[in-house]
A and B are shown apart, each in its own frame.
Chain A
Amino acid sequence: MKLEIKNLNVFVKDKEILKNFNLKILPGEIHALMGPNGTGKSTLSKVIMGYPDYQITGDIKANDKSILNLEIDERSKLGIFLVYQSPIAIDGLTNSEVIKACLDTRENKKGLYEFILNLEANVSNLEMNKEMLHRGFNVGFSGGERKKNEILQVLMLKPKFIILDELDSGLDVDSLKIVCDNLNNYLQENPDVSVLIITHYTRILDYIKPTHVHKMKDGTILETGDFNLAKFIEKNGYNQSFDIVGEVSNE
C-alpha cells in the first residue's frame, strides 16, 4: 500500500503535536521513525489509524485516496494495521473469538475449519502456547505474549500497511527474533505491503531492515537517511546532526 502524509498538523487541546509533517511510503517500503519520547511518534500512528480527539489539518492518503473522513474500522478494512505499544486486555472474550470476529468483517473471511488450521499454524510459528487462544483476550499475558498476539493478528488479518509502534518494547531477544522472522516471512510473501516502524532503538532494525530511516523531533521529521542514520542516532543521540545523508529521501 502507498501511504502519503501531506502537510499534516495535529493538535490536542490547542497544543500542536505534529507540525507540517510530510512522509511518503511506497508499496514494499519499510520506513523507520526514530525520535525521543514525547515527540509525536505514537500520536502519528493513532492519527493514521483514525483515532478521534485530534484536530487535524493537511491530508493522509492511502493509494492516492484521502482517508481522513474514514472511520477507524473503515481504515482497518482498507488494510491499515496498528501494532500497539501496549495492547489492551479484555476479560470475557477469548483470543480466538476476537480474531475470528475481526476476520469475519473482511473480504478474505475464512470458513471455521480453515480458520482454525490457519490460526494454529501461525500460533505454532510464533511459538505461542496454543492454550492462549482459549483464554481471555490478552488476560494474564506477559508484555511479550501480548506483542506476539498482535503479530498473530497481523498474520491472520493480512494487512497492507503495518505500523509497528515500539514492537521491541517488552520482547526478549529470542521473542523479538521469532516475531521479526514471522513478519519478514509475511513481507516476503506480500511484497506490496509497506511498514512504518516506530522505535527508539536499532535492535528491531537489525531484524527488519528499513529502506528509509527518519529522525523525528518536536513533531516533525528533521533528517532522512538509510540504516546508517539509525546507527548514528544510536551512537550519538538525537541532538547531533547526521551529515552523511543517504541516497534516499522522504519526498
Chain B
Amino acid sequence: MNKILIDTNQYNLVITKNASYSLEIIKDTNLYIKVLEDVEVDMTCLIQNSHVKICIDLLTNASLLVNQLALNSSLDLDFTLKKNSNLEYIASLITNIDSINKINITHENEFSNSKLVVNGVNVLNNKLYITINGTILKKSISSNLEENSQIINLKDGDSKIIPNLFINNHDVIANHSAFIGNFKDEDCYYLRSRGLNKDQVDNLLLKATLLNGMKLKYDKTKFIYVIKNNKWR
C-alpha cells in the first residue's frame, strides 16, 4: 500500500499498475489523478480542514474504489470515465463549519459504471451543501450511474443536496436518491432500550453514518480514531 501525505498546493498522480493508496490531505490543494488502462486501484482518502479540488480520469477498463472521509472541508471533484471503466466513490463528510461541495461525474464513453454514496453530517448551525452532477454523454451507451446521498442534521444547520442527472442517451441506467433529516427515531429508541443514553446513541449513530457503505480494507482504525477523537459538539 502506498501512503501519501499531501501538504502542497498541487499534486499529480499517474497510476500505471494495480495498487492501493492511502492519501491524507491537510492543506488546500489541487490534486490530479489519472488511472491508466486496465488498472485497478483501491484508495482511501482522509481530508482535514482543507478546500480540495480533485480531478480523476479513469481510462479504458480502469477501475477505482475510493473511500473518503472529509472533516471540516470543502470538496470540488471531477470524475471522467472512459470506455468500460468503473468508479465506486463512497464519501463521508462531517463539518461544524460551512462546507460547500460539488461533485461532477462525466461518463464519456460506453459501458462505464459509476456508483456514488455520499453521507454528510452537519453538526452545528452551519451550511453543508452537496451538489452532484451526473452526466452521461451521447456515445456512452449501456452505462450506469447511481447517486445516493444523505445529510444528517444534528442541529438546525442549513443543509442542501442538489442531485442533477444530465442524460443524453436512451440506453443507460441512471438514478439518484437524497435524504436530509435526523437520525431515525426507531434506531435511537432501540439503542436507548439497550441502556445507552442520548449522547452515547448519537455518537454511535454518527460513526455508523460516516462509515455507512464504506469498503475499507485498511485505514478503518484511522478513520474511526479521527471520528472519535474530534470534539464535534
B207 touches A51 (CB 8 A): no
Hey, which chain B residues are within 8 Å of A88, CB to CB?
186-187, 190
Residue numbers of A with Cβ under 8 A of B are 49-51, 71-73, 75-77, 81-82, 84, 87-88, 90-93, 98, 101-102, 105-106, 153, 157
Hey, which chain A residues are within 8 Å of B197, CB to CB?
71, 73, 105
Separation in Å of the A8 CB from the closest CB of chain B? Answer: 19
B193 touches A98 (CB 8 A): no
B192 touches A101 (CB 8 A): no
Q: Can you list 29 residue pairs at the A/B interface with Cβ under 8 Å?
A: A72-B189, A72-B192, A72-B193, A73-B192, A73-B193, A73-B194, A73-B195, A73-B196, A73-B198, A81-B193, A82-B193, A87-B190, A88-B190, A90-B187, A90-B205, A90-B208, A91-B208, A92-B211, A92-B214, A93-B211, A98-B194, A101-B196, A101-B200, A102-B191, A102-B195, A105-B195, A105-B196, A105-B200, A157-B195
Report whether over half of chain A's contact residues are helix, strand or loop; otherwise say mixed. mixed
Separation in Å of the A231 CB from the closest CB of chain B? Answer: 32
Q: Within B194-233, which residues are at the interface with A (CB < 8 Å)? A: 194-198, 200, 204-205, 207-214
A102 touches B210 (CB 8 A): no
B189 touches A51 (CB 8 A): yes
Separation in Å of the A44 CB from the closest CB of chain B? Answer: 15
B208 touches A92 (CB 8 A): yes
Closest to A103 in B: B195
B213 touches A101 (CB 8 A): no
A-B contact count (CB 8 A): 64
Hey, which chain B residues are within 8 Å of A76, CB to CB?
192-195
Separation in Å of the A144 CB from the closest CB of chain B? Answer: 19
CA distance A76 to B198 in the complex (A): 13
A93 touches B200 (CB 8 A): no
Hey, which chain A residues are within 8 Å of B189, CB to CB?
51, 72
With A72-B189, A92-B209, A92-B210 given, is the CB distance from A98 to B204 under 8 Å? yes
Hey, which chain B residues are within 8 Å of A90, CB to CB?
187, 205, 208
Residue numbers of B with Cβ under 8 A of A are 186-187, 189-198, 200, 204-205, 207-214
With A90-B187, A91-B208, A92-B210 given, is the CB distance from A49 to B193 under 8 Å? yes
Hey, which chain A residues are within 8 Å of B210, CB to CB?
92
Hey, which chain A residues are within 8 Å of B195, CB to CB?
73, 76-77, 102, 105-106, 157
With A87-B190, A98-B191, A101-B204 given, is the CB distance from A92 to B196 under 8 Å? no
Closest to B92 in A: A92
A102 touches B192 (CB 8 A): no
Separation in Å of the A102 CB from the closest CB of chain B? Answer: 4
Separation in Å of the B10 CB from the closest CB of chain A? Answer: 34
Hey, which chain B residues are within 8 Å of A87, CB to CB?
190
Hey, which chain B residues are within 8 Å of A50, CB to CB?
193
Hey, which chain B residues are within 8 Å of A75, CB to CB?
193
CA distance A105 to B187 in the complex (A): 18
- Looking at B189, B198, B207, which has the most chain A CB atoms within 10 Å of its CB? B189
Separation in Å of the A139 CB from the closest CB of chain B? Answer: 10
CA distance A71 to B197 in the complex (A): 9
Hey, which chain B residues are within 8 Å of A49, CB to CB?
193
Hey, which chain A residues are within 8 Å of B198, CB to CB?
73
Separation in Å of the B168 CB from the closest CB of chain A? Answer: 34
Hey, which chain B residues are within 8 Å of A51, CB to CB?
189
CA distance A105 to B201 in the complex (A): 12
B190 touches A92 (CB 8 A): no
B194 touches A92 (CB 8 A): no
CA distance A75 to B200 in the complex (A): 16
A92 touches B191 (CB 8 A): no
- Looking at B192, B200, B210, B211, which has the most chain A CB atoms within 10 Å of its CB? B192
